[in-house]
Structure 1
Amino acid sequence: MRDNPRLPLVSAALGLVLLGGVVGFAVVLPDLVDEPQATSAESGASDLGPIELPDELPGGFVAVDLGTLPEEVTGAGFDVQDVVTQQDSIDEGLEKTFGVPGKIRYYAAEDGSSGASITALDKAPGLFLVNAVPVDPAVVGLERLPSELVNVDGAVCEVAWGQPVAEGQPVDPTQTPGAVRCQIGEGERTYEVTGQGITLDATVAIAKSLVSS
């Protein structure tokens, strides 16, 4: 447990991208050979229109770049333009790397208890690179793995607990994971939500709010 959960909340939210908010995408990269016909995503267009990420998310999360979070959450000397500049740079990097439009946005809870980031990319979902594998913990002599890979309502999620639970030991159902990363797709667009200080269900709720079905 953090001594002061309000202290580096925005810094933590911004750092989520380094934990996998961007690098987790493993969609098929553009082929090195010519193809007969490019999809709308590969041509840089999407049937869903331009990527627009919301100002607010389920669970009371607010976009950091709005500049409305209290100072006890952002910290003294916080400059919203720094966030905008970083997000714009990542957007450009996503498009340069994948050859299609991409966008990222950082969020934080107004009470300073948790943070999240959303990354969107105009490519259909593909293989999800994670640090977890979907193995039965009993097979490796554990009650719960340090990281789990699960599918919840169409969202593929990696849940990072940090420490394994030994076989035969109780699993605390109220424990909040250290981090959760969920990927969900809609047509030729993939969304990835990374959360810190929130539950799996809350992360899935955010992911599902981004798609129309």
Structure 2
Amino acid sequence: MTRAYREIYLNKAQAALGDAFDYAVNACGIPGGDFVKLFITSTISRRMENGEPSVLAGKSGIELASDVMLETTGKSLDAEPAEKLGRSREYWIGWAVAYYQWYSARSYSEIFKALSFDELQRMYYTLHEADISKFADIADERIREHFKETNLKRIRRAYGCTQAALAEQSGSTLRSIQMYEQRRKDINKAGAETLYRIAKTLGCSMEDLIEK
């Protein structure tokens, strides 16, 4: 999987987004679902996705939340941070989603379309003490349920390539490409050479095409 930034920034990104959600909801009284909408509308979410060090490691969670609010509503946040007795439910949501965004390379907008703030709140009680990989597995399942298209179709469309052009340039048959995208053939069982040619044509890695 090709990721936007190196793993050394991941912990800081998780902590910052966790603190941003905690501050916005618990200190400023912004409903979680509303803050999600503001966050994914803002450039802050895209800058995090793109791995900008000034956002990932250069800002605190309070600064991120304030930037999101100022950019999207024109209003400033000046509430005092709530006293922390541990990681709040809202902190965990930001922390876990930041991990999954890095892990999956999907946009925050896509993730929050498949996983609402309310659903994430419910997941907290069973997952906040579990290994983060368990959350990633569940998020993958929700993503597959919400976005019916395969990785191959998603990447091909983002690349601006038709099925016919992909088939011709990768040396595959058009029928094979169609069947992979319709999940009538399992791309995970495709030969290494086939995967390599398709990935090379689309400018991605072979792992990007694999369905988890």
* TM-score category (smaller protein): under 0.3
Bigger strand fraction: 1
Provide the TM-score with structure 1 as the length reference. Answer: 0.23
**Structure ID, larger Rg:** 2
Provide the TM-score with structure 2 as the length reference. Answer: 0.23
Bigger helix fraction: 2
